């Protein structure tokens, strides 16, 4: 009774999702999939065939933002989108999303947008059998989990070589480490600087650029976000979706977030962190303050060596706080960049202190789990304040 | 006073926060009024005897590692580095650099890479990746770091380990040793970065390089980070 097993797995997943929400023990983005996959290991293959088009997005930085922009374009065009939310980009995250979406009958046209982390890509892509795959970039990130850059690209190559040749593979042409992928698959297309004209970086207010004759405005700062938008737009065009400007687009929490008292920028690896420092440095004013938070949980990477490959030297000498489970490692890193910081490992207290007497803006730069923690603290505060 | 740091193959062998060790050496010298010059020694460069006061050799990926192994041999740089260490020049090598300074490295399914033969040790590729926080007991006190390697290094009878494992895998995950120390050269698997959180080792290397006794610095933050690392899971 293979079909019974699938229904049982979906049911179990739905019950777990309900329970986790009811008892507030998680967002339900991983556990339902994790347990349902134990009952029906082929759950993804069996549910994904109901979705007519599937896109997979991978890379070290920008997955969530790219997925969100693509989803935004698709939804503006009236498509129903299914995707794994909240950066839950392992197999269990995909399964959880499919379970949450599962309803009978399933007749409406939908687009599946799946972000996969560098390692999960290889095991999950053969199950999703996507129509389009987007490779954004590759650099050092949590090497304790993924292995070295060469190995990541070689493994991607292996996975691509076994895919249906009708799949379209979109590659960022300006990332030299990705160039090798062109030799592993026949149907590849590139996106990059060559497609962009009239780039205007308007500081923290976002950016403007032109593709063919269309002007785009995004409320995300920095060149790296333009690449995310370009990847999403290129993919949308391949899907024949009408692409309008992106002014209504709202970024994911913490990737770049405007708060009433400042900004949040996620930092999680050397390439990404250095981009963030470069983006904010020209816009930090004398009365602004900085708050950096470094955690070493599994989702952050348990190796904090990466902070020594990130250019903290670019940060301005403003009043700075450091926090997180590895607050002292950050304090040492800043000291060696000739920057001083107040150490407060407790993030809630650090935030309180940093806001006390704040006359300018607070630039908060957390790692992934510190960002989730921050989200909880701030949500609670908003409720208390409104 | 001037300190010249020779960064070996900085463009090819530079991962897992290796830069942190260079930054630590540079800053700790500068804070004491010593001028620092960084020289990158890679494929096309030569090393002259007496040119560098200290060497640093970081980790790399497999492809780069084999390129570097053959360059060390063919260019004669390996021999010069060995002679410099013999006459007391200090050196720090992490992970891939440590492996290439041993007698040889045997990767999976590929021929042996020749080593410089500076450390009386050899390395064979293992199946299991040894990943996690590591603490060892040494002549410099406890050292803390993060290891991430599948190569298993074995010391010869004459090889003196850098330290004894308190937590983690170390050289090979079996004999409770980590790293190797030969004259003033230290090789080990400890990222983290190693020197910023272990200022005693950083200053020992600097003292050997400059041949002077250094004034202590205020290391309260470094020691707090060290303490925090001692308590990690």
Q: Check B20 against A149: CB less than 8 A apart.
A: no
Q: Which of residues 163-192 of A touch B (CB under 8 A)?
A: none
B155, containing H or E segment? strand B141-155
Please report where in the chains the tokens 């007991």 appear, as a residue.
Answer: B137
Beta carbons within 8 Å of B77's beta carbon, 6+ residues apart: B41, B46, B47, B71
Class of the domain covering A2-238: alpha beta
* Alpha-carbon distances of A108 from A50, A81, A243, B180, rounded to whole Å: 10, 10, 21, 65
Convert A87-105 to b/e letters by CB count within 10 Å (16 or more is b): bbbbbbbbbbbbbbbbeee
Do residues A170 and A189 touch, judged by C-beta distance below 8 A?
Answer: yes
Per-residue pLDDT for chain B (233 aa), expressed as one digit of tens each? 999 999 999 988 887 889 999 999 999 999 999 999 999 999 989 999 999 999 999 998 877 888 999 999 999 999 999 999 999 999 999 999 999 999 999 988 888 999 999 999 999 999 888 999 999 999 999 999 999 999 999 999 999 999 999 999 999 999 999 999 999 999 999 999 999 999 999 999 999 999 999 999 999 999 999 999 999 87
Give me the percent of chain A exceeding a pLDDT of 90: 60
Give strand pairing partners of A134.
A57, A170
Q: Check B61 against A307: CB less than 8 A apart.
A: no
ipTM at complex level: 0.96
Q: Check B224 against A343: CB less than 8 A apart.
A: yes
pLDDT at A382: 47
pLDDT at A26: 61
Q: Which of these ranges, A30-34, A226-230, B48-52, B131-135, has the smallest mean pLDDT?
A: A30-34
Instruction: State how far residue B111 is from chain A, nearest Cα, in angstroms.
Output: 19
Please report residues of A whose CB lies closer than 8 A to that of B132: 144, 302
- Residue B152, domain extent: 2-230
Dihedral sign from CA coordinates of B206, B207, B210, B216: positive
pLDDT at A19: 85
Average pLDDT on A290-305 reads 93
pLDDT at A213: 86
Most confidently modeled range among A55-64, A103-112, B136-145: B136-145
* Chain pair A-B, CB pairs under 8 angstroms: 84
Please report residues of A whose CB lies closer than 8 A to that of B197: 329, 332
Q: Check A305 against B63: CB less than 8 A apart.
A: no
Q: Which of these ranges, A208-217, A250-259, B99-108, has the smallest mean pLDDT?
A: A250-259
pLDDT at A384: 41
Do residues B146 and B190 touch, judged by C-beta distance below 8 A?
Answer: yes
Q: How many domains does chain B have?
A: 1
Place A142 in a pLDDT band, splitting at 50, 70 and 90.
low
Which one is predicted more confidently, B140 or A213?
B140
Query: In whole angstroms, what is the distance from residue B183 CA to residue B170 CA?
Result: 20
Could you tell me the CATH superfamily of domain A256-385? Mur ligase, C-terminal domain (3.90.190.20)
Kindly report the CATH number assigned to the domain that includes residue B203: 3.40.50.880
Q: Check B23 against A149: CB less than 8 A apart.
A: no
Q: Check B23 against A308: CB less than 8 A apart.
A: yes
DSSP letters spanning A197-255: EEEEE-GGG-EEEEETTEEEEES--SHHHHHHHHHHHHHHHHTT------TT--PPTTT
Give the domain ranges of chain A.
2-238, 256-385
pLDDT at A385: 40
Query: In whole angstroms, what is the distance from residue B110 CA to residue B233 CA?
Result: 36
pLDDT at B53: 98
Query: Nearest by CB to A140, which of B15, B27, B63?
Result: B15
Q: Chain B interface residues facing chain A, Cβ-Cβ under 8 Å?
A: 15-20, 23-24, 27, 61-63, 129, 131-133, 146, 148, 191-193, 196-197, 221-222, 224-225, 227-229, 232
Please report where in the chains the tokens 């996690």 appear, as a residue.
Answer: B132
Please report residues of A whose CB lies closer than 8 A to that of B108: none
Mean residue pLDDT across chain A: 89
Question: Is the pLDDT confidence value at A21 over 80?
Answer: no
pLDDT in tens, A333-344: 999 999 999 999
Query: Nearest by CB to A305, which of B20, B222, B228?
Result: B20
Which one is predicted more confidently, A143 or A139?
A139
């Amino acid at each position: 009774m293979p079909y019974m097993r699938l229904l049982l797995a979906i049911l179990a997943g739905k019950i777990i999702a309900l329970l986790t929400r009811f008892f507030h023990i998680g967002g339900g983005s991983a556990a339902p999939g994790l347990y349902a996959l134990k009952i029906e290991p082929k759950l993804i293959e069996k549910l994904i065939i109901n979705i007519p088009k599937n896109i997979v997005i991978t890379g070290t930085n920008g997955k969530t933002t790219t997925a969100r922009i693509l989803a935004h374009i698709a939804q503006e065009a009236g498509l129903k989108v299914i995707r794994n939310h909240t950066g839950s980009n392992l197999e269990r995250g995909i399964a959880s999303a499919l379970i949450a979406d599962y309803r009978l009958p399933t007749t409406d046209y939908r687009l599946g947008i799946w972000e996969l982390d560098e390692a999960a890509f290889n095991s999950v892509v053969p199950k999703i059998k996507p129509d389009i795959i987007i490779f954004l970039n590759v650099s050092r990130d949590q090497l304790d989990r993924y292995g070295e850059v060469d190995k990541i690209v070689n493994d991607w190559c292996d996975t691509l070589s076994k895919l249906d040749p009708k799949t379209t593979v979109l590659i960022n042409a300006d990332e030299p480490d990705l160039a090798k992928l062109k030799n592993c698959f026949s149907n590849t297309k590139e996106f990059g600087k060559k497609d962009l004209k009239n780039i205007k970086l308007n500081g923290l207010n976002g950016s403007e650029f032109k593709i063919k004759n269309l002007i785009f405005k995004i409320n995300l700062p920095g060149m790296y976000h333009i690449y995310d938008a370009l990847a999403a737009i290129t993919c949308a065009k391949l899907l024949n979706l009408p692409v309008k400007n992106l002014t209504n687009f709202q970024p994911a929490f913490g990737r770049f977030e405007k708060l009433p008292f400042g900004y949040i920028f996620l930092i999680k690896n050397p390439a990404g962190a250095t981009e963030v420092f470069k983006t904010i440095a020209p816009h930090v004013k004398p009365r602004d303050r900085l708050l950096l938070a470094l955690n070493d949980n599994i989702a952050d990477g348990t190796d904090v060596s990466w902070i020594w490959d990130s250019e903290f030297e670019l940060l301005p000498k403003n009043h700075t706080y450091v926090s997180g489970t590895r607050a002292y490692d950050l304090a040492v890193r800043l000291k060696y960049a000739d920057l001083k910081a107040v150490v407060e490992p407790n993030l809630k207290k650090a935030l309180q202190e940093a806001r006390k007497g704040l006359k300018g803006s607070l630039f908060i730069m957390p790692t992934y789990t510190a960002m989730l923690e921050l989200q909880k603290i701030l949500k609670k505060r908003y409720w208390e304040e409104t | 006073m001037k300190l010249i740091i020779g960064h070996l193959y900085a463009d090819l062998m530079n991962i897992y926060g290796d830069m942190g060790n260079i930054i630590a050496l540079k800053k700790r010298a500068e804070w004491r009024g010593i001028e620092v010059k960084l020289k990158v020694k890679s494929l096309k460069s030569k090393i002259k005897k007496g040119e560098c006061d200290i060497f640093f050799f970081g980790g790399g990926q497999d492809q780069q590692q084999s390129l570097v192994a053959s360059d060390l041999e063919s260019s004669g740089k390996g021999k010069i580095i060995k002679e410099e260490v013999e006459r007391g020049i200090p050196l720090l090598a992490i992970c891939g650099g440590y492996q290439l300074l041993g007698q040889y490295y045997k990767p999976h399914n590929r021929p042996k890479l020749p080593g410089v033969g500076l450390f009386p040790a050899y390395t064979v590729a293992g199946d299991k990746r040894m990943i996690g926080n590591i603490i060892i007991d040494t002549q410099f006190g406890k050292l803390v770091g993060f290891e991430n390697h599948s190569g298993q290094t074995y010391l010869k009878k004459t090889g003196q380990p850098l330290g004894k494992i308190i937590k983690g895998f170390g050289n090979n995950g079996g004999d409770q040793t980590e790293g190797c120390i030969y004259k003033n050269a230290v090789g080990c698997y400890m990222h983290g970065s190693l020197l910023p959180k272990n200022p005693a080792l950083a200053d020992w290397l600097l003292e050997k390089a400059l041949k002077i006794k250094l004034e202590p610095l205020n290391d309260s933050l470094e020691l707090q980070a060290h303490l925090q690392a001692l308590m990690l899971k």
